[in-house]
Amino acid sequence: MVEVDFDLCEANGVCVGLAPDVFDLDDNDELSISTAAELPENKDAIEEAIAGCPRAALHWRQ
Ligand code: SF4
Protein backbone atom coordinates (compact mmCIF):
# COMPACT_ATOMS: atom_id res chain seq x y z
CA MET A 1 0.00 0.00 0.00
CA VAL A 2 1.24 3.48 -0.86
CA GLU A 3 1.36 6.08 1.91
CA VAL A 4 1.74 9.85 1.99
CA ASP A 5 3.87 11.84 4.40
CA PHE A 6 1.60 14.80 5.16
CA ASP A 7 4.55 16.75 6.58
CA LEU A 8 6.04 16.77 3.06
CA CYS A 9 2.96 16.87 0.81
CA GLU A 10 2.21 20.36 -0.53
CA ALA A 11 -1.01 19.30 -2.31
CA ASN A 12 0.22 20.29 -5.76
CA GLY A 13 -1.76 17.46 -7.35
CA VAL A 14 1.01 15.89 -9.44
CA CYS A 15 0.12 12.42 -8.15
CA VAL A 16 -3.56 13.03 -8.82
CA GLY A 17 -2.68 13.72 -12.45
CA LEU A 18 -0.52 10.61 -12.75
CA ALA A 19 -2.84 8.21 -10.90
CA PRO A 20 -6.32 9.76 -10.73
CA ASP A 21 -7.96 6.47 -9.71
CA VAL A 22 -5.77 6.31 -6.61
CA PHE A 23 -5.13 9.86 -5.40
CA ASP A 24 -7.53 12.73 -4.79
CA LEU A 25 -7.39 16.15 -3.18
CA ASP A 26 -10.36 17.23 -1.09
CA ASP A 27 -11.75 20.72 -0.64
CA ASN A 28 -9.18 21.36 2.10
CA ASP A 29 -6.31 20.34 -0.19
CA GLU A 30 -5.73 17.20 1.83
CA LEU A 31 -4.60 14.20 -0.16
CA SER A 32 -6.58 10.98 0.12
CA ILE A 33 -5.63 7.53 -1.16
CA SER A 34 -8.48 5.32 -2.35
CA THR A 35 -8.85 1.58 -1.91
CA ALA A 36 -8.02 1.34 -5.63
CA ALA A 37 -4.42 1.64 -4.49
CA GLU A 38 -4.64 -2.04 -3.59
CA LEU A 39 -5.43 -3.11 -7.19
CA PRO A 40 -2.54 -4.62 -9.16
CA GLU A 41 -3.53 -2.70 -12.30
CA ASN A 42 -2.77 0.58 -10.52
CA LYS A 43 0.73 -0.40 -9.42
CA ASP A 44 2.52 1.16 -12.40
CA ALA A 45 0.61 4.45 -12.04
CA ILE A 46 1.45 4.52 -8.33
CA GLU A 47 5.12 3.93 -9.12
CA GLU A 48 4.98 6.90 -11.52
CA ALA A 49 3.36 9.04 -8.84
CA ILE A 50 5.99 8.06 -6.28
CA ALA A 51 8.74 8.92 -8.76
CA GLY A 52 6.98 12.08 -9.93
CA CYS A 53 6.11 13.61 -6.58
CA PRO A 54 8.26 16.75 -6.40
CA ARG A 55 8.26 16.57 -2.60
CA ALA A 56 9.13 12.87 -2.34
CA ALA A 57 6.11 12.55 -0.06
CA LEU A 58 4.93 9.16 -1.35
CA HIS A 59 6.37 5.78 -0.45
CA TRP A 60 5.40 2.13 -0.20
CA ARG A 61 4.57 1.07 3.34
CA GLN A 62 7.39 -1.14 4.58
S1 SF4 B 1 2.55 14.77 -5.87
FE2 SF4 B 1 3.42 14.67 -3.79
S3 SF4 B 1 3.30 16.76 -3.01
FE4 SF4 B 1 1.93 16.61 -4.77
S5 SF4 B 1 -0.09 16.14 -3.94
FE6 SF4 B 1 0.89 14.20 -4.46
S7 SF4 B 1 1.93 13.52 -2.58
FE8 SF4 B 1 1.45 15.69 -2.33
pTM: 0.95
Q: Which amino acid is at 13?
A: G
* Per-residue confidence (pLDDT) for residue 62, from 0 to 100: 77
Domain 2-60 belongs in CATH node 3.40.50.720: no
The atom number, within ligand 1, closest to the CA of 58 reads 7
Instruction: Say if ligand 1 is within 6 A of residue 55 CB.
Output: yes
Probe target for ligand 1 pocket from 8, 14, 32, 59, with the most ligand atoms within 8 Å of CB: 14
Per-residue pLDDT of the chain (62 residues; tens, 9 = 90+): 999 999 999 999 999 999 999 999 999 999 999 999 999 999 999 999 999 999 999 999 97
Query: Is residue 18 a contact partner of residue 52, using CB atoms and an 8 Å limit?
Result: yes
Domain ranges of the chain: 2-60
Positive or negative CA dihedral for 51, 39, 60, 25?
Answer: positive
Instruction: Say if ligand 1 is within 6 A of residue 2 CB.
Output: no
CA-proximal residue: ligand 1, atom 3 (nearest): 9
Q: For the chain, how long is the longest CA-to-CA vector?
A: 30
* Per-residue confidence (pLDDT) for residue 53, from 0 to 100: 98
